[in-house]
């Protein structure tokens, strides 16, 4: 049986998790503001294509919404790998988490320009995510092999 001891450094991981919640809340609030400016009523998730092609505010709203939705699509994988990797590599996991958070903000702000190609500003987030994937995998392997 493997016993896992959580070091005080795991606090950094917890702070990265909290920061990610603040980031997703921020993105959601920004969508709300863009929705009001574009006058896209609930329950519609996006403005229709024809509307967005005719109205820049509606196109920009769609970009805000897509940036938020893409972040939410990736969020479960981020949280799982952050918290698992943090067991074995808390400082690396926390740093990778903050890189991912910063990249999501860069991604969103690039998208907010209304030019979807500018979302690539957040590409560096793959560094954080791939590091989390590798270190969470290694944490699992070390747990199975009693490497801790």
User: Could you give the CA distance from residue 104 to residue 57 in angstroms, rounded to a whole number?
Assistant: 22
**Domain spans of the chain, in order of start:** 13-140
pLDDT in tens, 96-141: 999 999 999 999 999 999 999 999 999 999 999 999 999 999 999 9
Render pLDDT for 43-98 as a digit per residue (tens, 0 to 9).
999 999 999 999 999 999 999 999 999 999 999 999 999 999 999 999 999 999 99
Task: Please check whether residue 40 is in contact with residue 66, taking contact to mean a CB–CB distance below 8 angstroms.
Answer: no
pTM tops 0.85, yes or no: yes
The angle at the Cα of 137, spanning 136 to 138, to the nearest 5 degrees, equals 90
Q: Which CATH architecture has domain 13-140?
A: Up-down Bundle (1.20)
Instruction: Indicate left, alpha or beta for 134 from its phi (over 0: left) and psi (-120 to 50: alpha).
Output: alpha
């Amino acid at each position: 049986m493997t016993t896992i001891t959580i070091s005080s450094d795991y606090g950094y991981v917890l702070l990265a998790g909290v920061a990610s919640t603040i980031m997703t809340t921020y993105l959601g609030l920004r969508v709300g503001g863009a929705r009001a400016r574009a006058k896209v009523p609930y329950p519609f998730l996006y403005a229709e294509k024809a509307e967005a092609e005719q109205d820049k505010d509606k196109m920009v709203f769609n970009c805000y919404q897509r940036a938020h939705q893409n972040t939410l699509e990736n969020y479960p994988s981020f949280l799982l790998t952050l918290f698992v990797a943090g067991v074995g590599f808390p400082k690396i996991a926390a740093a990778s988490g903050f890189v991912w958070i910063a990249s999501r903000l860069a991604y969103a702000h690039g998208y907010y320009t209304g030019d979807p190609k500018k979302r690539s500003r957040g590409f560096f987030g793959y560094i954080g995510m791939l590091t989390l994937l590798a270190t969470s995998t290694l944490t699992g392997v070390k747990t199975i092999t009693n490497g801790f």
